[in-house]
Amino acid sequence: MKEQRIDLIMKEVEKHGIVSVSDLMKKLGVTRMTIGRDLKLLEDSGMLKRTHGGAVKNDDLNLVELTHLQKKNINISKKEEIGKLATDYIENGDIIFIGASTTNECLLKNIKNKRIRIITNSFYIFEQYKGNKNFELILTGGAWREKSGAFIGEITDRILSEIKVDKSFIGANGIKDNNVTNSNKEEASLQEIIMKNSQKNYVLIDSNKFDLKDLYTFYPTDKIDGIITDSRLNPNIKKKYEKYTKVINTFK
């Protein structure tokens, strides 16, 4: 499947920094033309840079804000793993906030036999789970931001400022030292508001987003209760960030 090919290509790029078309053809068992289309898609998304005969890692990745659809089609296995890990921190009867994030979209699918109340500013999370009888879903409303599939702005901020939750699960574009960051000022604002109104805060983030900083810092790393990430996190990076907070990348 296309999504699986994209995921494997990005794993190879992250691991080696460079990939060749011939190696990818062997690993994936597809034609040169298919690999070429996949690499073009990833380059157009800002995920890598094509070269003659292959591609290299995009070192400016943290400066590129991808659309919701682009994000949804990359690092799929990482997001699934993070979503499963995060369910260990949700209990029956919890009131939680789930922020707009393609990683967060994988969270609720793993929750079974728990009745929870969910506040979200994500249109896609609302649409995906509105039929689940165990979930009481509240969609904030506000100004629609198509690029991230989120409701943002003054109305959203006002609603969230009046809400108290047990736990928040937030996505981020990067974590750099004591800074949890995002690319959009209004999204960063609402994330800061709800995290101040939550008893516990968890940031869900792919392992490749550590040591990357985006435009807006919305929360200090040492004030969150845990970073939930995938098992591919470099042990040295994990050790570095455990000075700030709990880093979760294995099951309880």
Per-residue model confidence as pLDDT tens digits over 175-217: 999 999 998 889 999 999 999 999 999 999 999 899 988 888 9
State whether 128 and 15 are in the same domain. no
CB 197 within 8 A of CB 220: no
Task: Note whether residue 112 is domain-resident.
Answer: yes
**For residue 92, pLDDT beyond 90:** yes
State whether 153 and 240 are in the same domain. yes
Domain that holds residue 122: 77-248
State whether 158 and 45 are in the same domain. no
State whether 147 and 52 are in the same domain. no
Task: Note whether residue 178 is domain-resident.
Answer: yes
> Nearest-CA neighbor of 46 among 28, 32, 60?
60
CATH code for the domain in which residue 235 is found? 3.40.50.10470
Identify the domain boundary among 59, 88, 107.
59
| pTM for this model (two decimals) | 0.77
Distance CA 170, CA 149 (A): 14
Task: Note whether residue 142 is domain-resident.
Answer: yes
pLDDT-based confidence at residue 60 (cuts at 50, 70, 90): low
Domain count of the chain? 2
Task: Note whether residue 239 is domain-resident.
Answer: yes
CATH code for the domain in which residue 7 is found? 1.10.10.10
State whether 202 and 123 are in the same domain. yes
State whether 236 and 209 are in the same domain. yes
Task: Note whether residue 166 is domain-resident.
Answer: yes
> Nearest-CA neighbor of 102 among 46, 152, 177, 169?
169
Task: Note whether residue 64 is domain-resident.
Answer: no
Strand partners, 171: 204
**For residue 88, pLDDT beyond 90:** yes
State whether 21 and 123 are in the same domain. no
CB 237 within 8 A of CB 205: no
Task: Note whether residue 21 is domain-resident.
Answer: yes
